[in-house]
Structure 1
């Protein structure tokens, strides 16, 4: 399961309940909103998480050291191999394919054959 809530003009603290209630998430994108404050340690409860994008927000404070303990970051492949659709760049939402289009450092990168090995934590411009 993935949750993409980027570019929605949300503000406030990053919702701690995501980590407590959505334990099956393997991708979470909250990019390009107006979240502020610290990254909640409850996100560390997302044991299957392989993509975490909190970039382009107004976050501050220390990065929770428990993010290092997310077990899926050390495994190969997605927990649900046949559910792969991410488009964190909002280019084309009309197709269901096994690929990720992820933008970082100003460049767009596509992952398809290697998607199962992709592990990202993007905190840039947070």
Structure 2
């Protein structure tokens, strides 16, 4: 996990994040002053479940290779969650006794900061690229990320139409394409 959110960091996103940290699950750099483009090497993060690059000055297009984020291509399976939920009273004493730094994370969810414990964090799969200066079209292959529960690309300069297979994202809890320059119809399915 890397959380550098809400700082005054500037410059390009380091390419070593995608090249060296192949097992990274959470990358949060929201609310900084990063600029330049989103380098395609982030698409090599096959285990990433939370990618929050919001509220920066990133420009250029959304990488067309985002569909390579394979952890986000797996649909939501609630069975493990219910197993953990049933056993939670048993685990509570162990969790409080052996709590580590990575047992919870604060994530932005629909504009609010929400605390997720380790168990629930495993269910969260989201991409937030909102409030940047991204342009171009929404990559059609983003619809292959069927495990996404949240996709926010609002407040950019995106053009074109909504990908026709956007309805394939069956696990979505929220989708925000607002405040762009999109046109055309909303796909039927």
Give the TM-score normalised by the residue count of structure 1.
Answer: 0.74
Determine the C-alpha separation between the residues in 2 that align with 1:52 and 1:26: 9
User: Judging changes above 3 Å, is the alpha-carbon distance between structure 1 residues 12 and 96 closer, same or farther for their aligned structure 2 residues?
Assistant: closer
TM-superposed deviation, 1:35: 0.5
Q: Which fold has the larger relative contact order, with Cα–Cα distance below 8 Å and residues 6 or more apart in sequence?
A: 1
**Pair 1:41-2:40 in alignment:** yes
Stretches of structure 2 lacking an aligned partner (at least 5 in a row): 78-98, 133-189
Instruction: Provide the aligned C-alpha RMSD in A.
Output: 2.2
Give 1:123's match in structure 2, choosing from 129, 134, 146.
129
What SS class does the counterpart of residue 117 from structure 1 fall into?
coil
Alignment of 1:21-60 (within 5 A): 21-60=20-59
Give 1:96 deviation, angstroms: 4.3
Q: Secondary structure at the match of 1:60?
A: strand
Q: 3-state DSSP class of the match of 1:15?
A: coil
1:1-126 to structure 2, matched below 5 A, reads 2-75=1-74, 76=76, 96=101, 98-112=103-117, 114-126=120-132
Deviations 1:9-67 (A, max 9, x none): 11111111110011110111111111011101000111110001101100111100111
- State the alpha-carbon separation in 2 of the partners of residues 69 and 18 from structure 1: 16
In structure 2, distance between residues paired with 1:52 and 1:41: 13
Q: CA deviation at 1:98?
A: 4.0
Q: Distance in 1 between matches of 2:128 and 2:114?
A: 14
Partner deviation per Cα, 1:66-118 (whole Å, 9 max, x = no partner):
112211112357xxxxxxxxxxxxxxxx9747444322443233434532221
Structure 1: runs of 5+ lacking an equivalent: 78-93
* Aligned 8 A contact 2:51 2:126 in 1: yes
Instruction: Give the match's secondary structure for 1:114.
Output: helix
* Structure with the greater alpha carbon radius of gyration: 2
Count of paired positions: 109
